[in-house]
């Protein structure tokens, strides 16, 4: 891409493609998973464990583009800082929830919280400090 407008168009198209793909895969995984999971893993309930894990993977998939944008626009320190914050947040929330009485579910919820927080923060930063992403500023 030679201009800011071309980068915005490219990253906007990629963002909506990734989001559409993430939604489609999540919906299929929820639908098929609910049918197939009990047959293969009857000991672990599909809901809430697998449904929350699918939501976590959705946010992780949707966060791929903002992470890539940070790298290609020479904002690696921002990428690294947010990754460190995500790791600390995930560990802190997970420990608090597990110790606080949620047990194994606390681990799944902790991962979801950190994935969602990282996606929202990185998408927001990408939109505000845009060098190319076609996200609304």
Q: Are 90 and 110 in contact (CB under 8 A)?
A: yes
Give residue 15's pLDDT band: very low, low, confident or very high (50, 70, 90): confident
To the nearest whole percent, how much of the chain has pLDDT over 70? 88
Q: What distance in Å separates the CA atoms of residue 88 and residue 94, rounded to the nearest whole number?
A: 10
Q: Which helix (H) or strand (E) holds 91?
A: helix 76-97
**73-119 pLDDT, tens per residue?**
788 888 888 788 888 999 999 999 999 999 999 999 999 998 898 88
Mean pLDDT for 20-42 is: 94
pTM summary value: 0.77
What does residue 2 show for φ and ψ, rounded to 5 degrees? -95, -20
Which pLDDT score, from 0 to 100, does residue 75 have?
84
- Tell me how far CA of residue 119 lies from CA of 52, 83, 123, in angstroms: 16, 11, 6
Which pLDDT score, from 0 to 100, does residue 135 have?
42
């Amino acid at each position: 891409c030679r201009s800011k407008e071309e980068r915005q168009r490219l990253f906007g198209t990629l963002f909506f493609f990734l989001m559409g793909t993430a939604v489609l895969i999540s919906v299929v995984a929820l639908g098929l998973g609910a049918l197939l999971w009990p047959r293969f893993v009857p000991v672990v309930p599909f809901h809430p464990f697998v449904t929350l894990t699918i939501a976590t993977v959705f946010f992780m998939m949707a966060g791929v583009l903002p992470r890539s944008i940070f790298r290609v626009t020479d904002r690696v320190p921002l990428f690294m800082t947010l990754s460190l914050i995500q790791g600390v947040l995930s560990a802190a929330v997970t420990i608090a929830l597990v110790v606080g009485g949620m047990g194994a579910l606390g681990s799944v919820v902790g991962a979801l919280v950190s994935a969602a927080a990282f996606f929202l923060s990185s998408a927001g930063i990408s939109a505000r400090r845009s060098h190319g992403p076609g996200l609304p500023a």
